[in-house]
A and B are shown apart, each in its own frame.
Chain A
């Protein structure tokens, strides 16, 4: 025999990149059944094992038209550069397929769900750890023969099904396999499990790939309506008037900030917000916008009153029903998980009383014994709702409470630092403003954030006069957001300390 006697036909190869629990095995089984139903010979393999438990895993299918009296030798492993279809059940898994060499420009149709299922390190970062998917999209477009992408998870959910069904639809819609749509649908019917929902998701996946819908531009919100009493409305109008004096580019953020602090407290508080912004008006536009954001967040600090307020609003009740997808004939009752501590109680007392209690170890101990317990409040019952509603009503006295006193002192010292650099080093002023991002969360988390903030600000004297001071503050802040304990921040601080050594 010489080479001319060898058959030249090759099987079609399909690789499925999935995470355990996504139904990659179901999809592989469907593809095998589809091919066998058309009189082809198909072989699938997988390495599920422990990867089944939420880890990344791969399923591989080969298929070839049957030939009388012969059995094909099909591969159990994908050959890099020789795969016809790669299906990724999540966007980063498409990236993983590319890294494994499974996607090639001359051959591969890459079908990916655009949704993200975040890896634990992405979720666990104290700041924004979400990976920018631009690289994956660029590579997918760059190295595949065809890149087809849509939110298969969302389509499946809306159809009341799972992603394997919408991906099967996408595979049909791609036309990458030589089988008609009806053969795909018959395969789902023959499987006999949740057929209607699967077919709905299949149809959605098919359409999304066959006729992709262009991304819709985000609509600009309509002009702001104003609610409230006559006098308040006039004051709000005056506040909006004050905003109009600021540079045009900063007004949108100022308006959002103003809306937040008014919602948080009252219109007078809105004017206090603008008073503080007036002091920073000489900042460049971009920095001023950031200031508008962070000053608003600082003024609308998260206290017990705020939480009670947000949790008792009627809009919140509607949102919970929406989130759990409750049908009109179903009732929803809501349980809140609260753990008040002495700090929160004292913070919600009049300034002197709160400070007095905090100064007395005996009182603190006694109070702790009474309040420091996990509490579950059923806010959909009258007796569960009422305490929170009453606490929310304490808003009118907020300005006299201990917590407010402390928050304002912190805000003022922060803005005093910012003001110092408004003219001489606006870049540094901006970075100091942004450090407010470190202060967030509740109880211990809040305290840790506050400490990190103080440490970064405390390092400023070491940087004064340096041209790259702003840069160093940015680095310290980024480091502070990397890990909870502040290990990275400590490293950055050590570097800063060594700068002038």
Chain B
């Protein structure tokens, strides 16, 4: 079960011709896939394309009616391999993942797929996780398109253009027997807009038909001599076919303007930013009119040499707006213009930044330099600037004030106590090399834990510690989530450690979901799923691959037990990989699941107990040791009303979910007795009330007895 329910959005997938679809860009893609007669969809979740997967997962009924197969792939490599169904059969298939992280994983399959080519349209929807909000390395998918000759679409970031790109993407793929990538940047994935729907289409050729009428052709297999033919076919036939399709259907758009001696060539994804910048210079308006001619590359690979040369011919200067590095398109454009004998001046990364996101400020500065250099006399307005404000001493002073706020573990997260325990163990045994992985657990590198040395990729935590397999006084620790474990860590991490007789310790964080990507189910999820086979324990898999030292804890909040288990793993005389499986359900998902049930039960009048933690302010001395071992968002500090206390005291706010970590940490670390848990009994029964009466009576009597003798100066 995913973190977010798309029950409402699923209804939008049923819209028929002429009706208006309103919603996020990535959800528009799901509708466009169905409108295009897609036969199967697969992918691996991850921002910013998780919603595409989640909405299709919630739409199993509609998919079944249309005869569309959908699956959550085990990894991007599995997703890319799925497209093999379109190699021999005229079936349209789409896969999706975040890039470049996912494209790296998928590359093996992509190389083979693009070598042999496809018959049915093969579309790869890429969530280009670049720039602000990105959680991965800053690289471009463009390089993958170039190396494998996969066509790359980068549509203007509005819903009609994105939907059009999906439809054309399939057709382009079929026309050129080449897979096509559709690149959507983060904001385009999450942009809210609308488009006019078409009817959904059933696939023209079904997977069942293909399975019942198998076709083979040795020339499509990537083996010599066919592989040599593939390379020639890519260049001699598929590429020209793609260019012909792009030109015939006008996939790249030219917007005319009256300042004809200048021009801007841009990636489709840059269109809104460039138009806004031109508007701020008084050279365009909000309704799409521009004075500077624009050539918009909705397909950024392959380039259409003739069109680019024609756009530039006769112009004094052209600016290439290409986000990301290196400047692949600009370099190609220089070659194209030189070959065509066009001597228009070409600007690009000389006025725009080579690296980093093309924010409004970067574009304004770049265009200003371009105009200064090539059209100093062109009348233009002065765009707004934040420079005077940013230079204000009042604002400069903020650099010392405003704290960084990196992402962290949620309130009640079951991963927090694992790292509290690791901190306590390191206090005893000294610091260790800790190899991290991808997932929520990576937040341990941030305060207050500051644990971790490297992160090499999803499911690669243990293998990134594999060199540390020599006799030493300490063992290397690696951390891996259940998501990474099933993605590839079982083999590349655990299998690798078994085979190489590693002596390291691996902590597998099992929160029952692929939590960081939005709480999707995985093999070891505890929930019973009607569509997937779940409940396959990680422990069985680990033992199956040859690990003998495996410990499992089913309540990570037990910090003392967690600490003891880690200590044992780090000190045991047993040789070979030591695996600690730390299991507790992701609190975000658990709350979403349990809270409505709890509230409904209370409403029905049933007895329910809700725990919440608190701190006795007068017992807290303000040393904040508890926070250094927790960092829970609901555990904070406040100024004390007690004039004798100078330092802020800890308190727990109303968002506490009663996970128990605070109390466990206080016990395990022997911190202080100021924590308490208050169990609020909703709808108490007769027994509760009876006991409460007795207790209140006796305790009240004792309290009155003591307090009557108390001397006080209030």
- Known contacts A77-B360, A441-B672; decide if A263 and B612 are in contact (CB<8 Å): no
Q: Contact between A53 and B627 (Cβ–Cβ < 8 Å)? A: no
Q: Contact between A437 and B646 (Cβ–Cβ < 8 Å)? A: yes
Q: Which of A43, A67, A334 has the most CB of B within 10 A?
A: A43
- Known contacts A49-B186, A53-B409; decide if A70 and B403 are in contact (CB<8 Å): no
Q: How far is the CA of A46 from the CA of B646 in the complex (A)?
A: 41
Residue of A nearest to B518 (CB): A52
Q: How far is the CA of A364 from the CA of B409 in the complex (A)?
A: 40
Q: Contact between A311 and B712 (Cβ–Cβ < 8 Å)? A: no
Task: Check if B689 is an interface residue, CB within 8 A of chain A.
Answer: yes
Q: Which of B129, B625, B654 has the most CB of A within 10 A?
A: B625
Q: Contact between A10 and B410 (Cβ–Cβ < 8 Å)? A: no
Task: Check if A416 is an interface residue, CB within 8 A of chain B.
Answer: no
Q: Contact between A339 and B667 (Cβ–Cβ < 8 Å)? A: yes
Of the candidate stretches B170-178, B243-251, B286-294, the one touching chain A is B286-294
Q: Which of A139, A227, A260 has a CB less than 8 Å from the CB of B398?
A: A139
Q: Contact between A98 and B272 (Cβ–Cβ < 8 Å)? A: no
Q: Which of B193, B612, B713 has a CB less than 8 Å from the CB of A255?
A: B713
Q: Which of B272, B364, B654 has the most CB of A within 10 A?
A: B272
Q: Which of B637, B703, B707 has a CB less than 8 Å from the CB of A130?
A: B637
List CB contacts (< 8 Å) of B683-714 with chain A.
Answer: 684, 688-689, 692, 694-695, 698-700, 702-704, 706-707, 709-714
Task: Check if B543 is an interface residue, CB within 8 A of chain A.
Answer: no
Q: How far is the CA of A335 from the CA of B612 in the complex (A)?
A: 10
Task: Check if B583 is an interface residue, CB within 8 A of chain A.
Answer: no
Q: Contact between A225 and B447 (Cβ–Cβ < 8 Å)? A: no
- Known contacts A42-B192, A332-B680, A382-B699; decide if A124 and B280 are in contact (CB<8 Å): no
What is the minimal beta-carbon distance from A13 to any residue of chain B, in angstroms? 10
Residue of A nearest to B645 (CB): A297
Q: Contacts of A442 on B, CB cut-off 8 Å?
A: 621, 670-673
Q: Contact between A53 and B443 (Cβ–Cβ < 8 Å)? A: yes
Of the candidate stretches B72-80, B130-138, B309-317, B499-507, the one touching chain A is B130-138
What is the minimal beta-carbon distance from B259 to any residue of chain A, in angstroms? 9
Task: Check if B341 is an interface residue, CB within 8 A of chain A.
Answer: no
Q: Which of A2, A120, A130 has a CB less than 8 Å from the CB of B447?
A: A120
List CB contacts (< 8 Å) of A54-104 with chain B.
Answer: 54-58, 64, 67, 70-82, 92, 95-96, 98-104
The interface bits of chain A over 409-429 (1 if a CB of B lies within 8 angstroms of the residue's CB, else 0) are 000000000000000000000
Q: Contact between B670 and A443 (Cβ–Cβ < 8 Å)? A: yes
Residue of B nearest to A222 (CB): B714
Q: Which of B134, B407, B643, B706 has a CB less than 8 Å from the CB of A20?
A: B407
Chain A interface residue count: which class? 35 or more
Q: Contact between B706 and A389 (Cβ–Cβ < 8 Å)? A: yes
Q: Contacts of B275 on A, CB cut-off 8 Å?
A: 73
Q: Contacts of A314 on B, CB cut-off 8 Å?
A: 700, 703-704, 707
Q: How far is the CA of A20 from the CA of B443 in the complex (A)?
A: 14
Q: Contact between B644 and A49 (Cβ–Cβ < 8 Å)? A: no
Task: Check if A253 is an interface residue, CB within 8 A of chain B.
Answer: yes
Task: Check if A248 is an interface residue, CB within 8 A of chain B.
Answer: no
List CB contacts (< 8 Å) of B482-522 with chain A.
Answer: 516
Q: Contact between A267 and B644 (Cβ–Cβ < 8 Å)? A: no
What is the minimal beta-carbon distance from B493 to any residue of chain A, in angstroms? 22
Q: Which of B257, B384, B386, B684 has a CB less than 8 Å from the CB of A1?
A: B257
Q: Contact between B287 and A7 (Cβ–Cβ < 8 Å)? A: yes
Interface size for B (C-beta < 8 A) is: 136
Q: How far is the CA of A392 from the CA of B648 in the complex (A)?
A: 26
Q: Contact between B663 and A337 (Cβ–Cβ < 8 Å)? A: yes
Q: Contacts of B471 on A, CB cut-off 8 Å?
A: none
Q: Contact between A320 and B703 (Cβ–Cβ < 8 Å)? A: no
What is the minimal beta-carbon distance from A378 to any residue of chain B, in angstroms? 9
Task: Check if A236 is an interface residue, CB within 8 A of chain B.
Answer: yes
Q: Contacts of B711 on A, CB cut-off 8 Å?
A: 227-229, 232, 236, 262, 266-267
Q: Contact between B384 and A80 (Cβ–Cβ < 8 Å)? A: yes
Q: Contacts of A127 on B, CB cut-off 8 Å?
A: 622, 647
Q: Contacts of B192 on A, CB cut-off 8 Å?
A: 28-29, 32, 42-45
Task: Check if B349 is an interface residue, CB within 8 A of chain A.
Answer: no
Q: Contact between A324 and B560 (Cβ–Cβ < 8 Å)? A: no
What is the minimal beta-carbon distance from A499 to any residue of chain B, in angstroms? 28
Of the candidate stretches B84-92, B222-230, B330-338, B628-636, the one touching chain A is B628-636
Q: Contacts of B285 on A, CB cut-off 8 Å?
A: 6-9
Task: Check if B389 is an interface residue, CB within 8 A of chain A.
Answer: yes
Residue of B nearest to A270 (CB): B713
Q: Contacts of B409 on A, CB cut-off 8 Å?
A: 53-54
What is the minimal beta-carbon distance from A246 to any residue of chain B, in angstroms? 16
What is the minimal beta-carbon distance from B271 to any residue of chain A, in angstroms? 7
Q: How far is the CA of A323 from the CA of B48 in the complex (A)?
A: 39
Q: Contact between A122 and B287 (Cβ–Cβ < 8 Å)? A: no
Q: Contacts of B283 on A, CB cut-off 8 Å?
A: 3, 6
Q: Contacts of B670 on A, CB cut-off 8 Å?
A: 339, 341, 442-444
Q: Which of B273, B284, B389, B400 has a CB less than 8 Å from the CB of A104?
A: B389
Task: Check if A249 is an interface residue, CB within 8 A of chain B.
Answer: no
Q: Contact between A253 and B689 (Cβ–Cβ < 8 Å)? A: no
What is the minimal beta-carbon distance from B109 to any residue of chain A, in angstroms? 25
Task: Check if B67 is an interface residue, CB within 8 A of chain A.
Answer: no
Residue of B nearest to A302 (CB): B621
List CB contacts (< 8 Å) of B154-193 with chain A.
Answer: 157-158, 186-188, 190-193
Q: How far is the CA of A462 from the CA of B275 in the complex (A)?
A: 68
What is B's interface to A at a CB cutoff of 8 Å?
22, 47-48, 129, 131-135, 157-158, 186-188, 190-193, 257-258, 271-273, 275-276, 279-280, 282-289, 291, 359-361, 364, 379, 383-387, 389-390, 392, 394-395, 397-411, 440, 443, 446-448, 516, 560, 612, 614, 616, 618-619, 621-625, 627-628, 631, 633, 635-637, 639, 643-648, 654, 663-664, 666-673, 675-682, 684, 688-689, 692, 694-695, 698-700, 702-704, 706-707, 709-714
9 pairs, CB–CB < 8 Å, chain A vs chain B: A7-B286, A8-B285, A43-B192, A48-B47, A53-B443, A99-B395, A135-B397, A337-B667, A374-B668
What 9 A-B pairs have minimum CB-CB distances, sorted nearest first?
A101-B386, A47-B133, A55-B407, A81-B384, A80-B386, A228-B711, A374-B667, A119-B403, A441-B623
